[in-house]
Structure 1
Amino acid sequence: MTAEPLASAPSDEELPEWFYPPEGGWTADDLDRLPPSAPRFELIDGALVMMSPQTYFHSRVMWRLAQVLHQAAPEGMEVTVEMSVRLGPRQRPEPDVLVVNGPPDLSATSLPPEDVVLAVEIVSDESRERDRKTKPLKYAEAGIRHFWRIEREHDKPVIHTYELDDTTGAYVATGIHRDKAVMPVPFPVEIDLHSLAGR
């Protein structure tokens, strides 16, 4: 089933007050001031990016990967999903899965990049450019040591792994994993990729 396109753009009278950016543009703090009725957003370069509905593939892989990482994580590390990371005044992206040094503040609505050990993005059609280019660059600049990108190939997940190079400050590709992934970092974990999306 596909969604019907919007018939027309709403008029200014139909837009809610919060839709208009504050003077000087959106900041990371502004996300916490949006009303509960507002859609979920992440902030990239001061622009609000609306989070699109997930596919079942995306949701299943996200939750199952989080469970595998949770079981393997050493004491002192926590695994969470869909928490934004405050990379700067105008940067607050939201990775799909995060491994963080814990325990975090339970009342926090975002995480500082220095607490993030691993950020994982699961690529969707609408997020492809951000997940492949924009967000990895920003995670690397913020010093997040490990980044994984999960692509969908023939309805199966493939994990692309990256590690931060201290000399260049950029990510270096460390592997492309199909069927099974055996990761030594950020902690030892073995992932059966078929089980992430299969029954």
Structure 2
Amino acid sequence: MNVLQINSSVRRVQDGQGSFSTRLASELVEALKAQHAGASVTVRDLGLNPTPVMDEAALGALFTPADARSAEQNARVAENDALINELQAHDAIVIGAPMINFGIPTQLKNWIDAVARAGTTFRYTANGPEGLVKGKKVYVVLARGGVYRDQPSDTMVPYLKTVLGFLGMTDVSFIYAEGLAMGPDAEAAAVAGARAQIAELFSPATV
């Protein structure tokens, strides 16, 4: 079992405080490790080491044939290649995703833009698009100040289901920590609720 933990919060975690999504994602990874002896974990911190934005230079590099690229273009494509190879090399993907202005963080969107590549992680066929990142189990830990689950204002879950599924990752579980900005009692309840969801996912009756 190779586990890739992707943290997208820009907030640090120190002394058990800081980013809720990162802390809870780490707890989920520990639950995975407890079930899979010898599991290896790779942590990609997009807040600390952000993926470059998909700008005109990046697009130019990707659409230039490999034998015609400049050194700078080769270096830019290599960055995305490394992220794609990392994704493909892991069995389980754990994503910590705080809500920012009703959506996912820029850091996470840039990572998605980097790993979504036609012909590599998806392809178009006569029967429509086919995702090429297959056989993965994905866990997404959502941290949100308000309560948005199953509401029209929740753009995160539909988007992530769509884009991950488009790439072939259809086995996705969402863990919700909501109401984190609604006072100390609501915060405590949100964290406890998320921990209960994690425990349920890895209970003997569920696994």
**TM-score, scaled to structure 1:** 0.38
Q: Which has the higher strand share?
A: 1
Higher RCO structure (Cα 8 Å, ≥6 apart) = 2
Q: Which has the higher helix share?
A: 2
**TM-score, scaled to structure 2:** 0.37
